[in-house]
Structure 1
Amino acid sequence: MLSSRYTFIYALLMAAVVVASNFLVQFPVMGTLWGIALGDLLTWGAFIYPVAFLVTDLANRQFGPAVARRVVLVGFVVGVTLSFVAAPSRIAVASGTAFLIGQLLDISVFNQLRRQTWWRAPLAGSLLGSALDTLLFFSLAFAPIFAFIGPNEDFAISSAPILGVFAAEAPRWISWALGDLVVKILVGVVLLLPYGALMNVLKPMPQVAAAR
């Protein structure tokens, strides 16, 4: 069945994105930009994770929200399971929770806007999903209040200037969260290019088109 085959492909892509981002979020971007220490601002996971929203939106556009939710669920189970091997348990738990809630929000927003201009649904879904995902992930992964999930990294909770530039200081993970969100927004905008390019290849199935 075509939908089953594509669901499997989409789920594999989703799992790969989750595992890669969970692993790379442990590594700050080294170097400086305009005098700002990038290690206080960004992790490499921010550049990979927005691809998850692209996968969800393509599945949603082609097969509808039910298949998109299946893709998210399969990607969630596989991704989190593998993440316990590739990353600390607290990172895996935080990522799984944020991923599931953020992706479901993306699906809901996409469905509300799918009849509008082609770029509005994927862009709005990605931006809102990224904001919620970032809030949940960094809070659960690094905030001391959630230490019962697992041990924290001293580097993550040490103080640093907000966004690496403002005089006020905050735990380093807050700057990571703000920096990652900015990158996710920028990457989400850039990913409209492959989404637009694939629109003519991955066309909605007849039942999805009829529902529109």
Structure 2
Amino acid sequence: MLSSRYTFIYALLMAAVVVASNFLVQFPVVGTFWGIALGDLLTWGAFIYPFAFLVTDLANRQFGPSIARRVVLAGFVVGVTLSFLASAPRIAIASGTAYLVGQLLDISVFNRLRRQTWWRAPLAGSLLGSALDTLLFFSLAFAPLFAFIGPNEDFAIQSAPILGALATEAPRWISWALGDLVVKILVGVVLLLPYGALMNVLKPMPQVAPAR
């Protein structure tokens, strides 16, 4: 069946995004920008993860929320399993939890807005999903409150200026979370371009509610 084949393809893409972002989130960006140490703001995972929302939204547009949830669940199982091999267990647990909750929120928001202007559903879904995902991931992965999940990384709890420029200092993982969210928002906006380009290729199936 067409839906089964596409579900498999979407699931593979999703798993690749999850594994790559889980691995790269352990590596801060090296360098400075306007005198700001990027390592206090960003990890490379922030640039990869927004593609997960693109995959989910395309599946939702083409096959509806039911198939999109299957893609998310398939990506969750495969991605988290492989992530335990590619990253620390606490990172994998935090990523799996944040991923699942954030993606399901994205599906719900997208489905509510799918009949509106074409960019509103994917943009709103990805922004809200990214915000929740970032909050859950960095809290579970690095906050001392959740140390029972696994050992923390010493460099993640060292103090660093928030956003690299403000006088107030906080654990580095909080600065990472803020920088991560900003990048996710920017990348999410940019990914509207491939979403729009694929709209005429991946058209909704007859049984799916129209999406502009």
Aligned partners of 1:86, 1:39: CA distance in 2, in Å? 21
Kindly provide the CA deviation profile for residues 162-212 of structure 1, in whole angstroms up to 9, marking residues without a partner as x. Answer: 011100000000000000000000000000000000000000000014699
SS in 2 for 1:166: coil
8 Å CA contact 2:42–2:179 kept in 1: the answer is yes
Unaligned runs of 5+ in 2: none
Aligned partners of 1:211, 1:178: CA distance in 2, in Å? 32
Aligned partners of 1:157, 1:149: CA distance in 2, in Å? 16
Q: Give 1:79 deviation, angstroms.
A: 0.2
Q: Give 1:54 deviation, angstroms.
A: 0.1
Q: Give 1:86 deviation, angstroms.
A: 0.2
SS in 2 for 1:127: helix
Aligned partners of 2:210, 2:68: CA distance in 1, in Å? 17
Kindly provide the CA deviation profile for residues 70-109 of structure 1, in whole angstroms up to 9, marking residues without a partner as x. Answer: 0000000000000000000000000000000000000000
Kindly provide the CA deviation profile for residues 95-138 of structure 1, in whole angstroms up to 9, marking residues without a partner as x. Answer: 00000000000000000000000000000000000000000000
Aligned partners of 1:152, 1:91: CA distance in 2, in Å? 10
TM-score scaled by length of structure 1: 0.99
Kindly provide the CA deviation profile for residues 125-170 of structure 1, in whole angstroms up to 9, marking residues without a partner as x. Answer: 0000000000000000000010000000010000010011100000
SS in 1 for 2:124: helix
Aligned partners of 2:191, 2:198: CA distance in 1, in Å? 11
RMSD value, Cα: 1.1
Identity of aligned residues (%): 91
Aligned partners of 1:160, 1:68: CA distance in 2, in Å? 39
TM-score scaled by length of structure 2: 0.99
Q: Give 1:26 deviation, angstroms.
A: 0.2
